[in-house]
Amino acid sequence: MSGEGRERRTPRPQGRRPSGQSSREGRGSVRRGPVRAVQPARRVAYDVLRAVSETDAYANLVLPTAIADAGLTPQDAALATELTYGTLRRLGTYDAIIASAADRPTDGIDPAVLDALRLAVHQLLATRVASHAAVNESVNLVATTSGRGASSFANAVLRRITRDSGEVWQARIEEQARSDDERLALRTAHPVWVIRALRRALAAEGRGDELEALLESDNISPEVTLVALPGLAEPAEPRLPYAPTAFASPGGDPRRSVEASGGTVRVQDEGSQLVALALAGAAPIVSGERWLDLCAGPGGKTALLAAIALEHDATLEANEVVPVRARLVRKALRAVPADIVVHEQDGRALAASRPGEFDRILVDAPCTGLGALRRRPEARWRKSPADVAELVPLQVELLSAAVDALAPGGVVAYVTCSPHLAETSGVVQEVLRARTDIVELDARAAIADVSMSPIDLAVEGRSSSGSAQLWPHRHGTDAMFLALLQRPSTENTSSGKED
């Protein structure tokens, strides 16, 4: 079940032509006459930005294909990656600078021109690309996509930006902020509502003073982390500190490692590995157990659980309501030599049709994804508080349905890649309040048990909860949340675990 929301864009004012589009050349027209070719890495980055803006695409899915299709060298691929992700991370800040330099709001600028300006501003203010190269290439890019009038407009805006340093522009836009939170939003390139949600989540752990460290970590390119499926592959060096299945990419294109292993090595964040391992380790595994990954797409955690299940003679089923994502799950499972059924149903309906059948269930619920902004930076600009309000009832229903599908002694792991309190502890507490047939286990202890080294998981502020929250700035992982709920067995109503 996909949790990706639609991007909310400000409607363009009617009755006037957006700036950057000439009266004689409509949007998308091409300038007549010779135009200098745009450097391939910049063209790829621009095309990905356009896909993100126009079709709500995610850069981490579109960029690898674009790089391969363009046949970029490793050096150009690295440049395209930096330009794409760097631009997307600081989009809000760059838009404020463009609006100031153009003396008009960005919703009055043609979207195709605006994306070229964003790409140029990132080069001018956050890279070592020569100013003349960034301006000339970007103007040529606009000329090839939007015409002469648009390229003249882009040239004027970019020349204005080059007159001052990045520090001067940053100070200029911060002076226009109406509150401290708006100022912080412009400085760290996060929407105000996201900043406030993250502040509340940290404060719940008594760590409110770590907010700026967290925001800064969202703007740092994460290292590529790999998983070695247990029993099918061995992790290489360098190892990572926590998950015994995790290791760092040796560099270069990680797809080479994945392909060479036949899929038994995969790209996966260490936090995602930890929550799956914690579910597997929450109670001793008995041969013949039945497991379910209820919201499996795109299949990374599914593959890890499948490998563990295979080692312990357990049976795993998976479910993903979105057909495209279900295909990704099946692809992820090819490396595991087991017959794994992948359903394509609404998770709530599937769980309701299988009462009391499963010993372990993973509910990796659709969420806002605020915990993975390092990897999917565009999510911060396309999500809104309305998405949280829409997702929470679904999250509650999925978790409650999963509990109904648990066998006595069974455990369900509720997981989100978001630290937003409404999507995490709020959902768990709502389900716990409505039921008397489940208990909450200590997820912090479960993660600590599978971790290879001590891991600092906050207890303060969570005295009534056993949930665990990982953080990018503290653990180097995505901000994964984990809660473990158990339906007690008749033999042991306290925890269901054997002595």
> What is the distance between the alpha carbons of residues 332 and 306, in angstroms, rounded to a whole number?
10
Of all residues in the chain, the percent with pLDDT exceeding 70 is: 90
Least-confidence region, from 2-6, 45-49, 371-375, 426-430? 2-6
For residue 12, the model assigns a pLDDT of: 35
The mean per-residue pLDDT over the stretch 116-144 comes to 94
> What is the distance between the alpha carbons of residues 179 and 415, in angstroms, rounded to a whole number?
34
Least-confidence region, from 136-145, 272-281, 393-402, 408-417? 136-145
The mean per-residue pLDDT over the stretch 294-310 comes to 97
Give this prediction's pTM: 0.89
Query: Residue 330 burial (CB < 10 Å; 0-12/13-18/19+)?
Result: middle
The mean per-residue pLDDT over the stretch 241-261 comes to 90
Residue 7, pLDDT > 50, answer: no
* Structure tokens given for 88: 């997307």
Confidence label for 493 from pLDDT (cuts 50, 70 and 90): very low
Residue 248, pLDDT > 90, answer: yes
Neighbours of 203 (CB within 10 A): 15
Confidence label for 463 from pLDDT (cuts 50, 70 and 90): very low
> What is the distance between the alpha carbons of residues 374 and 380, in angstroms, rounded to a whole number?
10
For residue 18, the model assigns a pLDDT of: 55
* Structure tokens given for 360: 């372990």
For residue 461, the model assigns a pLDDT of: 57
Least-confidence region, from 1-15, 132-146, 323-337, 399-413? 1-15
> What is the distance between the alpha carbons of residues 404 and 257, in angstroms, rounded to a whole number?
40
* Chain centre to alpha carbon of residue 210: 21
Tens of pLDDT, residues 12-26 = 333 334 555 543 333
* Structure tokens given for 437: 């047939």
For residue 38, the model assigns a pLDDT of: 85
Phi then psi for residue 204, to 5 deg, are -65, -20
Residue 333, pLDDT > 50, answer: yes
User: What integer best gives the mean pLDDT of the chain?
Assistant: 90
* C-beta separation of 293 from 315 below 8 A: no
Tens of pLDDT, residues 44-78 = 999 999 999 999 999 988 999 999 999 999 999 99
Of all residues in the chain, the percent with pLDDT exceeding 90 is: 84
* Structure tokens given for 351: 């769980």
For residue 497, the model assigns a pLDDT of: 38
* C-beta separation of 361 from 406 below 8 A: yes
Tens of pLDDT, residues 402-444 = 999 999 999 999 999 999 999 999 999 999 999 999 999 999 9
End-to-end Cα spacing for the chain: 37
Active site residues: 417
Place of tokens 């009617």: 14
> What is the distance between the alpha carbons of residues 447 and 238, in angstroms, rounded to a whole number?
21
Tens of pLDDT, residues 312-331 = 999 999 999 999 999 999 99
Tens of pLDDT, residues 90-107 = 999 999 999 999 999 999
Residue 30, pLDDT > 60, answer: no
Residue 347, pLDDT > 50, answer: yes
Q: What is the number of alpha carbons within 13 Å of residue 489 lying toward its C-beta?
A: 12
